Amino acid sequence: MFGGEYTTTPLQEITTSRLRYNFNVSFEANFSSTWTLCTGSQGDVATHPIPAMTQGALFSMATAACRENANTNVRFNEVYLMFRVEVDEVAARNGTTRASDFAHVYEGILANSEIRSSRVRVDTVDAIKNLKYERKF
């Protein structure tokens, strides 16, 4: 079940154990969370001016979010992507990396609680499954 029971049980009939169960699946289970912002190398190489300018702003936002959440229950990380990833169908036509393959990066971050307030550098296709990360500050 995701999000707890979706029920219309009257207040007078809710038992303590049922209330605790629902707090556990709806609140406690989600209390710690992981947030990830994906940025791109265009912010550094600037071969495409418009995306380059927006990436610069995202770099600062990622650093601020990592710093502000470093000592909280929230993990915030930046994924710094250095090659093109597209929706699977488009990637097949263009010879780029499929989004479904890139999803392994997010799975890896979620599986490793040591990745916190960090920049995860994805510079090659091999790096999708072999995460390289460094604390932002």
Q: Which CATH number goes with the domain that contains 58?
A: 3.40.50.720
Q: What is the pLDDT of residues 28-74, one digit of tens each?
A: 666 688 999 999 999 999 999 999 999 989 999 999 999 999 999 99
Task: Give pLDDT, residue 30.
Answer: 64
Residue 129 inside a domain? The answer is yes
Share of the chain above pLDDT 90, in %: 81
78 exposure class (CB count in 10 Å sphere: 0-12, 13-18, 19+)? buried
Residue 74 inside a domain? The answer is yes
Distances (CA, A) of 43 to 13, 24, 39, 65: 57, 41, 8, 18
Residue 3 inside a domain? The answer is no
Residue 17 inside a domain? The answer is no
Distances (CA, A) of 50 to 1, 23, 104: 43, 45, 28
Residue 26 inside a domain? The answer is no
Residue 114 inside a domain? The answer is yes
SS3 category, 116 = coil
Domain that holds residue 75: 33-135
More confidently predicted of 2 and 136: 136
Domains identified in the chain, total number: 1
Task: Give pLDDT, residue 1.
Answer: 47
What pTM was estimated for this model as a whole? Answer: 0.79
Residue 22 inside a domain? The answer is no
Residue 8 inside a domain? The answer is no
Report whether 136 contacts 118 (CB < 8 A): yes
Report whether 94 contacts 86 (CB < 8 A): yes
Task: Give pLDDT, residue 24.
Answer: 80
User: Of the candidates 80, 73, 86, which has an alpha carbon nearest to the alpha carbon of residue 58?
Assistant: 80
Q: Which residues contact 58 (CB under 8 A, 6 or more apart)?
A: 37, 39, 43
